[in-house]
Amino acid sequence: MQDEIVECLSEDNVKLTPHMLHPLLEGIAANHEHERAIFLFRDVRARKVAPRDKSYRYMISLCTEINEAEEAFRILLDFQSVPIWIPRYYWWLVLECCARNGFVDSLENRLLIPAGRNVTLLAVSSEYC
Amino acid sequence: MGRARLYLPSHDNAASEHLPETPKGLRAADLVKVMTDKPITPHPSTLKSLPPEELTSIAIPKPKRQRQIPEKPRAEGYNEQAYTDAKHAAEEKKDPTSRELDDLFRLMEFDSQRGELLQEAYAIWKEMRSRGIIPTDRGYAALLKVSYNPDVVDCRWLPK
């Protein structure tokens, strides 16, 4: 049903707004189409639509749940650009997911996900940024 | 200096010797009779002997309490008349405007937190769209919310 509604948006000249995005993401995730939700979120961000912080939190939680550590980390970094305070919980959630998926170098205490610059675990935490 | 001494509690039952022996199965009312010679006022519950007019003067009227009925949740920021307006418009065979359709979907979204009005909203949207009445982004956002039922999603992993 949501698919049909979304398909009609372009026909009706209605742009996808952040308020429409969130229930859409929830609906897609409900159908276990997690990758589709990730691609949609990525696409929306590429189109310079600023998702709501609720949607950011939802996507981070979703990615960590399905072990998409890299995507969770990228969304987290993107979330940082939004002028909203990110709860510490999400940093630890992503770090735990990264560690679980072998993205943490335990010797150097460094994250192994390329993010434009070397990001140490301490630097990742919002408290030290 | 004297040493502090601890006294064991005495189990002196001498006092009980002065009391008359009490039979087993003694009631409190009987105990009063045993322990005092003073006349005892009759128990308040034995008011049957009083004439009914005196009883009515004694009776304390109970304060009338207003029954607490929970109020219907207020849909603040929503057009609460949206259903009525839509019904009247349909009866008069008038098509709603996009804004009225938005208000209707938004109120439906407020009223169906668990997607209860999913089918109704979908049917209205289809019908109105076939007539060329398109909701705005506000209406579409409400429609997408209605069409998502959180009960079917396992949300245990979501943070509270």
- A75, exposed or middle or buried, with CB in 10 Å at 0-12, 13-18, 19+? buried
CA-based nearest distance B141→chain A, Å:
4
A-chain residues near B151 (CB < 8 A):
none
Query: Under a CB-based contact definition with an 8 Å cutoff, are residues A78 and A45 in contact?
Result: yes
Amino acid at B73: P
Q: Is B105 on the interface with A (CB under 8 A)?
A: no
pLDDT given for residue A127 in this prediction: 44
CA angle A76, A57, A64 (to 5 degrees): 70
Q: Are B105 and B142 in contact (CB under 8 A)?
A: yes
Phi, psi of A16 (to 5 degrees): -75, 120
Q: Does A5 touch chain B (CB under 8 A)?
A: yes
Write down the pLDDT at residue A9. 86
Please answer yes or no on whether A2 and B145 come within 8 Å at the CB atom: no
Helices (H), chain B: 14-18, 28-35, 52-58, 82-91, 98-111, 118-130, 137-146
Residue B117 confidence (pLDDT) above 90 = no
Alpha carbon of B110: minimum distance to chain A alpha carbons (Å): 14
A31: nearest CA partner in chain B: B153
> Best-predicted range by mean pLDDT among B63-72, B84-93, B148-157?
B84-93
CB contact A66 to B (< 8 Å): no
In contact, B135 and B101? CB cutoff 8 Å: yes
pTM comes to 0.63
Nearest to A27 among B137, B148, B157 (CB): B148
Domain count, chain A: 1
Q: Per the CB < 8 Å rule, is B147 touching A23?
A: yes
What ipTM did this prediction achieve?
0.74
HEC assignment per residue over chain A:
CHHHHHHHHHHCCCCCCHHHHHHHHHHHHHCCCHHHHHHHHHHHHHCCCCCCHHHHHHHHHHHHHCCCHHHHHHHHHHHHHCCCCCCHHHHHHHHHHHHHCCCEECCCCEECCCCCCCCEHHHHCHHHC
Domain extent, residue A112, equals: 2-128
For chain B, the structural domain boundaries read 95-151
pLDDT per residue rounded down to tens, chain A (129 residues): 788 888 888 888 888 899 999 989 988 888 888 999 999 999 988 888 888 888 999 999 999 999 888 899 889 888 877 777 778 888 888 888 888 887 776 655 566 665 544 444 444 444 444
Q: B125, exposed or middle or buried, with CB in 10 Å at 0-12, 13-18, 19+? A: buried
Residue pair B102/B138 in contact by the 8 Å Cβ criterion: yes
Q: Which residues pair with A110 in a beta bridge?
A: A105, A120
Place of tokens 């970094």: A77
pLDDT of B7 higher than 60: no
Q: Quick one: tokens of B9?
A: 């509690």
Q: For the segment B56-72, what is each residue's pLDDT rounded down to a tens digit? A: 666 677 788 888 888 77
- Report pLDDT for A117: 45
Considering CB atoms only, which of A20, A27, A57 is closest to B141? A20
